Chains A and B, each alone.
Chain A
Amino acid sequence: MAGIYIHIPFCKQACYYCDFHFSTSLKKKDELVNALIKEIELRKNELENQTIETIYFGGGTPSLLSNNKLELIIHSVYKHYIVANKPEITLEANPDDLSKKRIIELSKTSINRLSIGIQSFFDEDLKLMNRAHSANEAKNCLKIATDYFDNISVDLIYGIPGLSNKRWVENIERVLSYKIPHISSYALTVEPKTALENFIKKGLIKNVDDHVAEEQFHILIEKLGASDFVHYELSNFGKPNYFSRNNSAYWQGKTYLGIGPSAHSFNGNQRGWNVRNNSKYIKSLEQNILPMETETLSTADKYNEYVMTGLRTIWGVSLNKIEKDFGNQYKKYLLQQSQKHINEQLLYLDNDKLLVTKKGKFLSDGIASDLFKINLS
């Protein structure tokens, strides 16, 4: 059981909040695709015959690649790896790339899941974030996409300066009206060195208000819960059988290969990451060299990652798993560290599972770090 993530580092324009790796220069698209295929081939032995269950095109904006190119990449995965019978193959796509024609063509490829970056159905929000599409494009593309794809995920952003609770509810209800089975919804985050940070510093955009973000988070949980969505990860909601299999693998510590510039890989013990630069990535692979750095995780690192990701999910942190994988000492430590938060009703124990309460959800990073094991040096 393993997944492959393929990073497509191109965008038409830069969203003001984004700190992922991408380039708005599309000149090297062909070379990059060649390099991706080369990397897929060079790493064919890494998975040691594990079956590929999911393939995920993320970005950047993967929908900028033609269907042909996407098929070419998928083909190379099939050629060098064992792929499961019905793999989940996801394409992240932006509404402005999803014309009716394109959607129909895509539906004929092996891609069977779309993750569409809607973010909002209001032009003022989209402009404020410098998204490439309009509100109308967003609505049209969903209308069509649902006719051709069953498995669709939509991204929504809340906590945008100026986004009222009323408009937020309208955004959620509009997504629900399309009968979309999966929603990823993120609190707008001001990342360092982004345009958004700069505008806020200069006073051009009002700062994100944590209080409003928290309210909108709870509105989201309530609305989606009422429509039978399962809140299975902090920012992810799915109907049963529609959880993202690819992303769930990250939170369950499963093996994944990350292909492309800046992509991360993990095999249970080691994490690797590719160079975060398109030209360097391409050059290196032209010389058959993997542009990757790796780190080996210590026991404490693995424990910390499990706690950190576990607390974000519906699966929580399993005490049995902690004991089995890390030993009784770790289990004791975890219980001892949790007590304060259990008392404050931020965490609770459900049989074997340690979970975050509703009140604790929006504070779960701080809680996780309290449960961390570190050596003071």
Chain B
Amino acid sequence: MQNLFYRDILMKNIRNFCIIAHIDHGKSTLADRLLDFTGSVTDREKQDQLLDNMDLERERGITIKSHAIQMDYEYQGEKYVLNLIDTPGHVDFSYEVSRSIAACEGALLIVDAAQSIQAQTISNLYLALENDLEIIPILNKVDLPSANPEEVTDDIVDLLGCKPDEVIHASGKTGFGVDNILAAIIERIPAPKGNPNAPLQALIFDSVYNTFRGIETYFRVFDGEIKKGQHIKFVATKKDYYADEVGTLKLTQVAKQSVKAGDVGYLITGIKTAKEVKVGDTITDFANPTTNVVEGFEDVKPMVFAGIYPVDTEDYEELRNSMEKLQLNDASLVFQAESSAALGFGFRCGFLGMLHMEIIQERLEREFDMTVITTVPNVSYLAYTNKYPDTPITVNNPSDLPEPSTLNRVEEPYIKATIITKADFIGNVMSLCIEKRGIITNQTYLTPERVELAFEMPLAEIVFDFYDRLKTVSKGYASFDYHPIGMKTSKLVRLDILLNAQPVDALSALIHADNAQNIGRKMCEKLKELIPRQQFDIPIQAAVGAKIISRETIKALRKDVTAKCYGGDISRKRKLLEKQKKGKKRMRQVGNVEIPQQAFMAVLKLND
């Protein structure tokens, strides 16, 4: 009945908003409270972090995919439709965030009253301000004993130039302040503008794969309307479809005859692969297309590359199937077949970042029961040979790097990194960034205690244990964000690892020449720790070209047998050996050496 009532909602009674928050600042919990308060979920449907519906999202407390949900709310006698577009909170997914922001008129800026504003929040906030979004600052977790509302309010006021009384105090845990937030959404965020009678112009901000129905496309209509059965076209991909079903996104989907200008909804066209639905693309009418394409569309490019191989070579085809299925709902995952002398057949995969890589590996293991080896990740380099000094060769794999003698130069991607930390830790953070080949470009005191540092540094250095070290040197009080700023020439070498005198290509890494000695030594030490002793001595060597720069030996196993095996020992011993066997199943035999899964990522854990 409710749906009927809201069927002809006017554009002036729609509000579209997103939430900007740092991880752990309580975004998902506060979103749950909004759904609660507006009666959008029944008690039966309630569970924590409703919008994070992947297990992985709930466990890690992060949002990986964008989500959208529509709430009905009556305010001062009028009915409103509130569309909340929940966005990912990690820098790996910043493009998705930018498209979600583009679909809204307003944003809730949630700041933890104990932790204040973090780098990720600021960069997303700037994005929202660029898109002219109305910002509603919310001080969350005010009920925490460690909350520091006065100081954090000052931080927010400084940042936004708003008045202190515009900052809403709330607690996602208790529900305090939720009514004020809803009132502010209606009063402060402008209603969408758009021409309901113009040709259809809608922005795709996400897509989800549904096993039964194919790809569900999430969109925001700016002009016109999208009707059931309509012949439509996606501008960037130039493909056309018929809208089999359109509707709005309540906790479950509600099919409609049409979704009109200003509103947010879903579309099902029978598309089977996520690749066809590009976030940021414009949907328009096939016969009567719009002349205004939604600005800001980009083809998302992977930033980090790594090989993914099955632990058991026989599982290659199964791995391919699993990757293809994953790609159906994660268009940002790219992969192509490759082979490694050490690991056999596998895939070179491109990821948005390190978190994205971890997520893919974890989803392969959980959702597809695949045990995989992920090789040392690297960024994408451009190599130029002496013969063709103007023709770049893309290097996504250490083995793609041309022979040093033929190499003219290599360029590597650089980023601008923004780090916000406490003044106490400036020294530590600077040393870390300089060690990581960073050059400081700016330093701004946001408040007397909080400093924003800007660096230019190679993207590759972020891949290698940067986050963890940053956390350590700042005792957790640093947040970090980055944007690519182009390619720069660099002194790059390939570090090879030899086990038992045989090079193991899957352990090779591209690194800066100045770091080769140090990383080579640490790699050998780490591998010695990670590779279990076997029935023979195993020399481990690190080499650059023909030159051995470091060496360790794993001594042979001399004794691997328990002395006593009587009536009371058999069961315990069997269980122990079964556990050992399970461990071995996760190892890969290269030559005659058994290498555990985690050793392939050793280079990432050199400072543990």
- Known contacts A211-B558, A369-B580: A273-B565 contact under CB 8 Å: no
Other-chain residue from A258, A301, A361 in contact with B567 (beta carbon distance below 8 A): A258
Is A264 among interface residues, defined by CB-CB distance under 8 A?
yes
Residues of B within 8 A of A266 (CB): 567, 570
Contact between A264 and B535, CB atoms less than 8 A apart? no
> What are the residues of chain B within 8 A of A365 when measuring CB–CB?
560-562, 573, 577, 580
B567 and A213 within 8 A (CB)? no
B574 partner residues in chain A, CB cutoff 8 A: 301, 304-305, 308
A366 at the interface (CB under 8 A from B): yes
Min C-beta distance of B571 to chain A, whole Å: 5
Cα A235 to Cα B569 with chains together (Å): 14
CA distance A182 to B570 in the complex (A): 22
Given contacts A369-B578, A369-B584, A376-B585, contact A361 B561 (CB under 8 A): yes
Contact B565–A251 (Cβ < 8 Å): yes
Does B559 count as interface, using CB distance less than 8 angstroms? yes
Q: Which residues of B contact A186 (CB under 8 A)?
A: 563-564
Please tell me if A330 contacts chain B, counting CB pairs below 8 Å: no
The complex places the Cα of A262 from the Cα of B572 at a distance, in Å, of 13
A312 & B578 in contact (Cβ 8 Å cutoff): no
Q: Which of B557, B562, B570, B585 contacts A264, CB < 8 Å?
A: B570
Q: Are A374 and B578 CB-contacts (below 8 A) given A362-B559, A364-B561?
A: yes
Q: Which of A295, A308, A361 contacts B577 (CB 8 A)?
A: A308
Chain B residues closer than 8 Å to A233, beta-carbon distance: 565
- Check B563–A256 contact: CB distance below 8 A: no
Contacts of A361 in B (CB 8 A): 561
Most buried by A among B560, B561, B566, B568: B561
- Also in contact, A5 and B585, with CB within 8 A (given A211-B558, A365-B561, A369-B580): no
| B471 at interface by CB-CB < 8 Å | no
Q: Is the interface of B mostly helix, strand, loop or mixed?
A: loop
Known: A5-B567, A189-B562. A366 touches B578 (CB 8 A): no
- Are A362 and B558 touching (Cβ within 8 A)? yes
* Complex: chain B residue closest to A295, CB-CB: B571
Give residues of chain A (156-194) contacting chain B, Cβ–Cβ below 8 Å.
Answer: 186-189
Report if A355 contacts B (CB, 8 A). Answer: no
A182-209 vs B, Cβ < 8 Å mask (1 yes, 0 no) = 0000111100000000000000000000
Contact A213 B571 (CB under 8 A): no
Residues of chain A at interface, number, CB under 8 A: 47
Asked whether A214 is an interface residue with its Cβ less than 8 Å from the other chain, the reply is: yes
B577 touches A362 (CB 8 A): no
Please tell me if A372 contacts chain B, counting CB pairs below 8 Å.
Answer: yes
Task: Fill in one digit per residue for B537-572: 1 if any A CB lies within 8 Å of its CB, else 0.
Answer: 000000000000000000001111111111110110
**B557 partner, pick from A250, A304, A366, beta carbons under 8 A:** A366
B-contact 0/1 string along A232-273, CB 8 Å cutoff: 011100000000000100110000101000111110000101
Q: Given A308-B577, A372-B581, answer yes or no on A256-B567 (Cβ-Cβ < 8 Å).
A: yes
User: A251: shortest Cβ distance to chain B, in Å?
Assistant: 7
A228 at the interface (CB under 8 A from B): no
Mark interface residues in A262-305 (1 if CB within 8 Å of B CB, else 0). 11111000010100000000000000000000010000010011
A344 part of interface (Cβ distance < 8 Å): yes
Given contacts A362-B559, A363-B557, contact A304 B578 (CB under 8 A): yes
Cβ of B582 under 8 Å from chain A: yes
B568 engages A234 (CB within 8 Å):
no
Query: Which residues of B are found within 8 Å of A210, using beta-carbon distances?
Result: 557-559
Determine if B564 and A304 form an interchain contact, defined as CB atoms under 8 angstroms apart. no
A187-B559, A213-B558, A372-B578 in contact; A363/B567 too (CB < 8 A)?
no
Measured CB to CB, the nearest residue on chain A to B557 is: A363
Contact A309 B570 (CB under 8 A): yes
Cα–Cα distance between A213 and B561 once the two chains are bound (Å): 11
Shortest distance between the CB of B554 and any CB in chain A (Å) = 14
Q: Is the CB of B567 within 8 A of A250?
A: yes
The reply to whether the CB of A325 lies closer than 8 angstroms to some CB of chain B is no
Rounded to whole Å, the gap between the CB of A347 and the closest CB of chain B is 12
* Bound: A359/B172 CA distance, A: 66
A41 at the interface (CB under 8 A from B): no
Q: Are B570 and A305 neighbours in the complex by a CB distance under 8 Å?
A: yes
B563: chain A residues at CB < 8 Å are 186-189, 234-235
Quick one: CB contact mask for A301-317 with B, threshold 8 Å, 1 for yes? 10011001100100000
Q: Which residues of B, 155-170, contact A by the 8 Å Cβ criterion?
A: none
Contacts of B564 in A (CB 8 A): 186, 189, 235
Residues in B whose Cβ lies below 8 Å from that of A235: 563-565
For B568, give its contact among A263, A308, A309 (CB under 8 Å).
Answer: A263
Nearest CB of chain A from residue B63's CB, rounded to whole Å: 30
Q: Does A346 contact B (CB under 8 A)?
A: yes
Contacts of A376 in B (CB 8 A): 371, 582, 585
Is A222 close to B, CB under 8 A? no
Question: Which residue of chain B lies nearest to A250 when distances are taken between CB atoms in the complex?
Answer: B567
Chain B residues near A138 (CB, 8 Å)?
none
| CB-defined contacts of A211 to chain B, threshold 8 Å | 558
8 Å CB contact of B565 from A187, A213, A265, A309: A309
What CA separation (Å) do A174 and B371 show in the bound complex?
A: 55
Cα distance A366–B194 in the bound complex, in angstroms: 71
Say whether A73 faces chain B, with CB atoms less than 8 Å apart. Answer: no
Beta-carbon nearest neighbor of A21 in chain B: B568
Least CB distance, A208 to chain B, in whole angstroms: 9
What is the CA–CA distance of A258 and B570 in the complex, to the nearest angstrom?
13
Q: Is the CB of B581 within 8 A of A214?
A: no
Q: Contact at A273–B581, with CB atoms within 8 Å?
A: no
Least CB separation from B583: chain A residue? A369
B567, A234: Cβ atoms closer than 8 Å: no
Asked if B559 contacts A214 (CB within 8 A), the reply is: yes
Contacts of B558 in A (CB 8 A): 210-211, 213-214, 362
Whether A308 lies near B570 (C-beta < 8 A) is yes
Within 8 Å CB of A369, what residues of B? 577-578, 580-581, 584
Residue of B nearest to A346 (CB): B535
Known: A366-B557, A368-B577, A372-B577. A258 touches B565 (CB 8 A): no
With A and B bound together, what is the CA distance between A302 and B578 in angstroms? 12
Within 8 A of B (CB), among A1-40: 5, 20
Known: A308-B574, A344-B535. A362 touches B560 (CB 8 A): yes
The answer to whether residues A273 and B557 also contact, given A368-B577, A370-B581 and a CB cut-off of 8 A, is no
The answer to whether B560 and A364 have CB atoms under 8 Å apart is yes
B573 touches which of A5, A213, A262, A308 (Cβ 8 Å):
A308
Are A362 and B561 neighbours in the complex by a CB distance under 8 Å? Answer: yes
User: A312–B567 Cα gap in the complex (Å)?
Assistant: 14
Q: What are 20 A-B interface contacts by the 8 Å CB criterion?
A: A5-B567, A188-B563, A189-B562, A189-B563, A210-B557, A235-B564, A250-B570, A256-B567, A258-B568, A271-B570, A309-B565, A309-B570, A362-B559, A363-B535, A363-B559, A365-B577, A374-B582, A376-B371, A376-B582, A376-B585
Shortest 8 CB-CB distances between A and B: which pairs? Answer: A186-B563, A210-B558, A369-B577, A210-B559, A366-B560, A264-B568, A369-B580, A372-B581
* Given A187-B563, A234-B563, 7 other A-B residues pairs in contact with their CB atoms under 8 A: A210-B558, A250-B567, A265-B567, A304-B577, A309-B565, A364-B560, A372-B577
